[in-house]
Amino acid sequence: MSQPHLPRRLAGGIRRWAAAAAGALALTAGLLAAGPQASAASLIQVSGFGTNPGNLSMYAHVPDALPTGAPLVLALHGCTQSASDYHAHSGWSTFADRYGFAVVYPQTTSANNANSCFNWFEAGDSARGRGEALSIKQMVDKAVAQYGSDPGRVYITGLSAGGGMTANMLAAYPDVFAGGSVASGLPARCAEALTAAYTCMYSPPDRTPAQWGDLVRSAAPAGTASWPRVAIWQGTADTTVRPANATELRDQWTNVWGIGQTPSDTRNLTGGTTVTTYDDASGRPAVEVYSVSGMAHGLAVDPGSGTEQCGTAGTYYPDTICSSYHTARFWGLDGDGDSDGGENPGTLPAPAGLTVTATTDTTVALTWEAVAGASYYTVHRNGTKVSTTASSHYTDTGLATGTTYSYTVTATDPAGTAGAASPAVIATTTGYTPTCHTASNYAHTTAGRAYASGGLTFAEGSGQAMGLWNTFTIHTLQQTAPGHYVIADEACPA
C-alpha cells in the first residue's frame, strides 16, 4: 500500500487503473519489487484450514517443541509482498523462537487483487464472517487446533494494506484477538469501497474519536465488553499512508477503550522513535503510538544480533528500530505475562487447578489452588489483566452472552513480582438461544443471514457455500451464535 501499493480490486467491471493511478504507478515503477528474499526454509504451507472464502494461503513458522498453550501471532504482508517476504524481513520468527510462540502468515495473490494487497477496503472481504476476513479467522482456528495455541493469546499485525486489514480484523473479531499492531496502516472501516481507499490513504477523514469508535463497535459482535490492545506504528515522512492516519487510529482505539486522548506517558526510543502510551483504568497500556522520525512508508526493522534488534532491511523495511521487538513486549510475549513489562517471571509457581466453577449469561466463576508465599493473584481474560484478588477464587462480570473467553492466573510475591502463569482454561457464557430460518438464498442474504459473492451465496459466520444467489434455492440456516449461521437442511435442533 505504498504508491505501488495502491489497492486495485479485480472484481465486477474494475479491471484497469484510472489514469491518475496509472501515472502514480509509472512514477514509482522501480518500487514494485518486494526486496531481496531471504531464506524461508523454516516457513511451511498449511492446507485444509476451512472453507477459505477469501481464497488465501496459510503459511506458518512453528518453533521446535512448542508447548501447548503458547501464544499465536498472525502477520499480514503489504502489497506486492508475500508470506515468505514478510517472514524473511519482519523479524517475527526471531521472537517466535526466543519467546516461544507460533507465527501464521496469511498470503493473498494477484488473483484476489492485482497488486497482491489484502482487500481492507472491501466490505465483502473485511467484515466479520466474510471473504478474506473469514479465511484469516479460519487460520486462527486451524493453528489453535494443530499447534495447541492458547485461544486467549492470539495477536495480529500487518503492514500497509495488511495493517488496514489488521485494524478491520480487530474490529470484527475482538473476541478472537487479544492485541494488534497496525504498521503504516489505516483506521478500522475507514473505507468500504475502492474509491474511498485513496482518500483514507492520502487524506483520512477527520472524524471525532466517538465516530471512529462507533465504526469499531458496529463491526464487533453485539455486547462486546473487552477489546484488544493496539500498537500503532507510523513514519513521519510517509507520503503513501499519511501520518494523520496514526492520529485517527489513536482516536479510534482510545475511544473504544474509553480512556481519552491524553497520553499517560511519552518516552524516546532508538531510531528517532517516540512512543506515547494510553493506559486503561487499571494503569495498564491499552494503546501505544510509535512515531518514527523521518521514516518513509514501511515496517521498521533493525538488523543485527542485539536483544532489541531484528529483521532484514529492504524495500518497505527501513533500517530504523525493531518494531516487532517492541510490539512483542507490548503484548507481553516476552514471558512476563503482562504487556510492556520486560521483567522475567518471579520464583512463585503457577497456580494449579484453575477451574471454571460456574457460568451465567454475563459472568464466569473461577477457582484455583492457593500458592504458598503469594500476596495476591492476577486474573487475565484473553491475555488482558482484569483483576487482582487476595482470594483463590474470582467471578468475572459484565461479559457478553454466548461468548467464549480464556483465563489464566498468576501469583505475586510480597515484593510485587509475578510468577508463572497458569495453564489457560476456557469458559463460554450462557444465554444465547439458537434459532432456525428457512428461506431462499436471496431472502437469507437480504436478511443478513448470508452474503453474496460472485453470484454465489455463503452463510454468515461459517462461510458455508449455499449455491446460487437467487429466489429458487432454499436452505435452512441455524444461528448458533451472534452473527454465525450454519446449514441445517436435514435437521435443525433449534
Question: Which tens digits make up the pLDDT trace of 276-307?
Answer: 999 988 788 999 999 999 999 999 999 999 99
- Mean per-residue pLDDT, 333-351: 63
- What is the per-residue pLDDT for 346? 63
Question: What Å distances lie between residue 198 and 136, 186, 191, CA to CA?
Answer: 24, 11, 9
pLDDT confidence band for 255 (50 / 70 / 90): very high
Ramachandran angles phi, psi of 484, nearest 5°:
-125, 120
Quick one: which of 122, 164, 144, 178 has its CA closest to 58?
Answer: 144
CATH architecture label of 3-331: 3-Layer(aba) Sandwich (3.40)
* Cβ atoms of 300 and 320 closer than 8 Å: yes
Highest mean pLDDT among 16-20, 328-332, 400-404: 328-332
- Which cell numbers in the block locate residue 343? 521483567
Q: How confident is the model at residue 374 (pLDDT cuts 50, 70, 90)?
A: very high
Q: Which residue has the higher pLDDT, 12 or 69?
A: 69
Between residues 284 and 270, the one the model is more confident about:
270
Average pLDDT over residues 177-191: 97
DSSP state at residue 4: G
At 419, the pLDDT band (50, 70, 90 cuts) reads: confident
- 355-428 topology per CATH: Immunoglobulin-like (2.60.40)
Give helix 92-99 / helix 83-90 axis angle, nearest 10°: 70
Type of residue found at 482:
P
Residue, of 453 and 93, whose pLDDT is higher? 93
Of the listed 57, 160, 184, 323, which one is catalytic?
160
Its pTM stands at 0.69
Whether pLDDT at 332 is above 50: yes
The reply to whether 160 belongs to the active site is yes
| Residue of 36 and 442 predicted with greater confidence | 442
The CA dihedral of 122, 128, 130, 135, to the nearest 10 degrees, is 110
Q: Is the pLDDT of residue 23 over 90?
A: no
Arithmetic mean of pLDDT, 237-257? 96
- How far apart CA 311 and CA 405 sit, in angstroms, is 33
Cβ burial of 220 (10 Å; 0-12, 13-18, 19+) is buried
Burial bucket for residue 416 (CB in 10 Å: 0-12, 13-18, 19+)? exposed
Burial class (CB in 10 A: 0-12, 13-18, 19+), 419: buried
How far is C-alpha 143 from the chain's CA centre? 14
State residue 144 phi and psi, 5-degree precision. -60, -45
Distance CA 224, CA 175 (A): 8
Where on the phi/psi map is residue 144: left (φ > 0), alpha (ψ -120 to 50), or beta? Answer: alpha
Local confidence band at 426 (pLDDT 50, 70, 90 cut-offs): confident
What does the pLDDT average to over 78-99? Answer: 96
pLDDT of residue 283: 83
More confident residue, 93 or 6: 93
Identify whether the C-beta of residue 333 lies closer than 8 Å to the C-beta of residue 421: no
- Please list the residues that pair with 418 across neighbouring strands: 412
221 secondary structure, DSSP code: P
pLDDT at 4: 37
Per-domain boundaries in the chain: 3-331, 355-428, 435-487
The reported pLDDT for the residue numbered 421 is 83
Query: What Cα–Cα distance (Å) separates residue 89 from each residue in 36, 137, 161, 188?
Result: 9, 24, 17, 25
Pair type for strands 474-481 and 465-468: unpaired
Rg over alpha carbons for the chain, rounded to the nearest Å, is 22
Concatenate the DSSP letters of all residues of 94-109 into one string: HHHHHHT-EEEEEE--
Contact 419, 346 (CB under 8 A): yes
Residue 7: pLDDT above 50?
A: no
First to last CA, the chain: 45
Q: Kindly list the distances between the CA atom of residue 379 and the CA atoms of 179, 337, 348, 364, 370, in Å, as whole numbers in the listed order.
A: 17, 11, 15, 12, 14
Which residue matches cell numbers 485517527? 248
* Lowest mean pLDDT, pick from 105-119, 338-352, 475-489: 338-352
- Residue 28 grid cell: 514509482
Helix (H, G, I), strand (E, B) or coil at 148: coil
- DSSP class of residue 32 equals -
Distance CA 415, CA 60 (A): 40
Predicted local distance difference test score (pLDDT) of residue 37:
34
Q: Residue 99 and residue 333: Cα distance in Å, rounded?
A: 7
